[in-house]
Each structure stands twice: as structure tokens, then as C-alpha cells.
Amino acid sequence: MKHCILFICCAIIVSCSTEKQSSNFLETALASKNPKIKRVMDSLEKYKVQIRYTQIDRRNDSVFFTDYDFQIHDSTYFYPASTVKFPTAILALEKINQTDSLTMYTKYYIEGDTIESTVANDVNEIFAVSDNLANNRLVEFLGFEAINQQLTNKGISPVRLSHRLGFHSDDLRTKPIIIYLNDSTTGITQSILNKTPKALELIDIEKGKGYYENEEFINEPFSFKEKNYYPISAQHDVLKRVIFPEKFSSSEQFNISNEQRDHVLKAMHTVPRKMGYNKNEYYDSYCKFFIFGDSKDDIPEHIEIYNKVGFAYGTLTDCAYIKDTKKNIDFLLTATILVNKDGIFNDDVYEYDEIGIPFLAQLGREIYQQELQRNNH
């Protein structure tokens, strides 16, 4: 146990933007004796955990961040899954503002598809139930190169989005979008040709010992070289810009209106049942891992979690701003964990419910309890 705690202390890096050094709640949380935390910390190499926790302080109407990191390495790859939908949603709203005739409520559909939608509705579906089709529609609207360039321009890097979600497609060209400009007029966007993505060269870019492809077992590590790349640091930076835009220069902010930002914030913390989804299938914590992920009970009204999760290929990630309006505490927390005991990918045998989600839920509770004590002092 001595060695474990020593490792934790060495692995956690603290960067402060406040004048006063705060106690390291992340270190304390990871040293917890709770089995949901301890079993992961005792086998760190297996679970590939990365965490960034931001403590928030306010003085004279100013907000100060203190970031605490555990094993954060941009060069160490993990599959971001649906977390990439967050920047795509925000950038789609930003692009709408470049055309006077469009709003987030303008109806549209993808050429060859029958689903009519609006960007506002897509944003709701992305955050409520992590809908793949809603995300892919916005990808057709934006194109991957525009997504990557816009994020880089705002100082959010490294990042590389390169593929749609939910199905495999090598199609580099986006599909045209038919937009209803008014009751009798439609417009059509031009197809965008994206460049062939370069293979990623990162640590752990090949994982496991085998995988299934077209029901055939391949006895070699699974390569993520062509997959999306969206590390913890970039995810946390997107979240900070949306929750606390005033902390960033105008060139670093997302160019969305107050109405659009309010819509995003509401979508981020509204639970599925309040958006009309069946609560038995889409319980409150369906897309909220921290604090409540290992329970299907309703989340209390006074706890608001503004977040985006991702889960695929055995990797679970949550990027969240957690706020308790009753106790007057708030903090930012982004974490990822890999749960793939057999080392085989695409076999749908992952320990999400047994290990991954309980770890993230308990991590959230450990940090929350310490924030609660800090606020009471």
C-alpha cells in the first residue's frame, strides 16, 4: 500500500492558476480504501486511467482554476468515443451564425435520408442519449477538416476527428444538406472533400492482443491509428470554454450567441426523461457516469451535471462540470478508464458495469465530498 500511495503522489501533477495552493483532493480520492477505487488503483497499468480535476475559486467576481492531473499524457492514446460529439455540436452552432438566413431551429435533412431535423434538436439528442445519427448529421454539415482547424484556431489541441460514429465508412466526402430556407424555398450545401487522415503515431495506439472483424478473429493488437483523437486536455479545454467563456480571449471562445449557449447548457444537464425519453431505458445516469453512474435512481434536482460521456472499445470517458446549487459547490472533472480484461476488442465483453462505471461514479463522489467539506470550512 505504501508503494501504491507513493506512486499516486508521483503521478499527480498540479498546475495552479490561483495564488493560494489548495489541498489535493484528487490525490486523496485516488488513495481511497473504497474497493471501487482501490481495485483500479492496485492495477493501474491494466486500466490506463487519466484524470484532470479542476478546483474552482471565486474572489471579487473573478474565477480562478487550479488543475490537478493524474497520468495525463497527450501522447498516450485512448479512444474518445462519443466525447467528440461535444465540440461538433458547438461548432455546428457557430457555423450557423455565419449565415443570416439560418438559425438553430432551421429544418434540414441529409441528401438521401428521410430524417428531418434541426441543429437545436441534434444538440438535444447528442447530450441526452448520445445519439450517433444526430452527431453524424452535424459532421456532414461541418466536415472533419473544418472541425479540427476551428478547434486548433481556438487553442484547443491536440485533436484529430476523422470518422463518423456508429458505423464504418471510408467515405471522405460529406453528403450535401438540403435546408428549408422558408416554406417554399430550399437550399443545398456543397459536398466537402476531406483529406485522407494521417495515421496517428502515439503511445498505446495499438491495444490488446486480438480483435474481431466481420466475425473473424484477428490474432494481433487492435490499431486505433485511423480513429478519432481527442485527449483529456483538449476535452477539458472545450468544457472550460463553454462553461466559463469569460475566462478566455475572444479568439479562444466559441462564437455562439447567448441563446445558443443557454440551449447547449440546458441540453448538457437535462436528464433524458425530461426530454421525453423512456426513463426505464434511458435512466438519469445513462449518460452521466460521475457520482450517479452506478445507480439508476433519479438524480436530485439540485445537482446539475453538464457533461459529455463516451463509451466504446472498452473505454469509458466522462467530461463534466458538476454543480450543487443547494450546497453552492462546483468543480470540473474529466476522466477515462479502459476495462477490457480479456484484451480482445470488438467482442462486446467489457467490464463497464462491473469496474469502469463504479470507478468513475466513486471518483465523482470522493471529489464531491471533499468539495462539500471545503465549502463548510
Which CATH number belongs to the domain containing residue 64 in this structure?
Answer: 3.30.450
C-alpha cell at 41: 488503483
Q: Is residue 236 part of a domain?
A: no
Q: Within this chain, do residues 197 and 318 fall inside the same structural domain, yes or no? A: no
Q: Nine-digit cell at 210? A: 486480438
How far is 110 from 127, CA to CA, in rounded Å?
21
Q: Which residues of 250-261 are buried (b: 16+ CB within 10 A; e: fewer)?
A: eeeebbbeeebb
Claim to verify: residue 127 and residue 247 sit in the same structural domain: yes
Strand partners, 333: 53, 320
Please check whether residue 26 lies inside any domain of the structure. Answer: yes
Cβ-Cβ contacts under 8 Å for 329 (sequence gap 6 or more): 323, 368, 371, 372, 374, 375
Give the predicted TM-score (pTM) of the model: 0.92
Query: Does position 9 have pLDDT exceeding 70, yes or no?
Result: no
Are 314 and 345 part of one and the same domain? yes
> Each residue of 263-312: pLDDT tens digit?
999 999 999 999 999 999 999 999 999 999 999 999 999 999 999 999 99
What cell numbers appear for 329 in the block? 459547490
Residue 371 lies in a domain: yes
The verdict on residue 277 lying in a domain is: no
Same domain, 114 and 259: yes
Q: Are residues 112 and 1 in the same domain?
A: no
| DSSP letter for each residue of 310-329 | EEETTEEEEEEEEEETTTTE
Are both 68 and 80 inside the same structural domain?
Answer: no
Would you state the pLDDT for residue 186? 84
Asked whether residue 221 is assigned to any structural domain, the reply reads: yes
* 339 and 323 within one domain: yes
Chain centre distance of CA 221: 25
pLDDT at site 188: 87
Q: Is pLDDT larger for residue 22 or for residue 116?
A: 116
CA distance 216 to 339: 22
Q: Is the pLDDT of residue 17 over 60?
A: no
Q: What pLDDT digit, counting tens, does each position of 220-262 carry?
A: 999 999 999 999 999 999 999 999 999 999 999 999 999 999 9
Does residue 206 sit in the same domain as residue 108?
yes
The reply to whether 121 and 245 lie within a common domain is yes
If you write DSSP's letter for every residue of 65-114 in order, what string do you get?
EEEEEES--TTB----GGGGHHHHHHHHHHHHTT-TT--TT--EEETT--
pLDDT at 294: 98
Residue 275 maps to a domain: no
- Main-chain dihedrals φ then ψ at residue 14, nearest 5 degrees: -115, 130
Q: Are strands 210-213 and 216-218 parallel, antiparallel or unpaired?
A: antiparallel
pLDDT, one tens digit per residue, over 92-124 is: 999 999 988 899 999 999 999 999 999 999 999
- Residue 96: give the domain boundaries: 76-230+241-270
Assess whether 180 and 224 both reside in one domain. yes
Per-residue confidence (pLDDT) for residue 20, from 0 to 100: 40
Instruction: Compute CA 39 distance to the chain's CA centroid, rounded to the nearest angstrom.
Output: 24
Residue 167, in any domain of the structure? yes
Quick one: what percent of the chain has pLDDT higher than 90?
Answer: 87
Report whether 218 contacts 351 (CB < 8 A). Answer: no
How many domains, in total, are found in the chain?
2
Please tell me whether residues 67 and 121 are part of one structural domain. no
Same domain, 150 and 137: yes
Residue 53 lies in a domain: yes
Of the candidates 4, 9, 32, 24, the one whose C-alpha atom is nearest the C-alpha of residue 362 is 32
Q: Is the pLDDT score of 3 beyond 50?
A: no
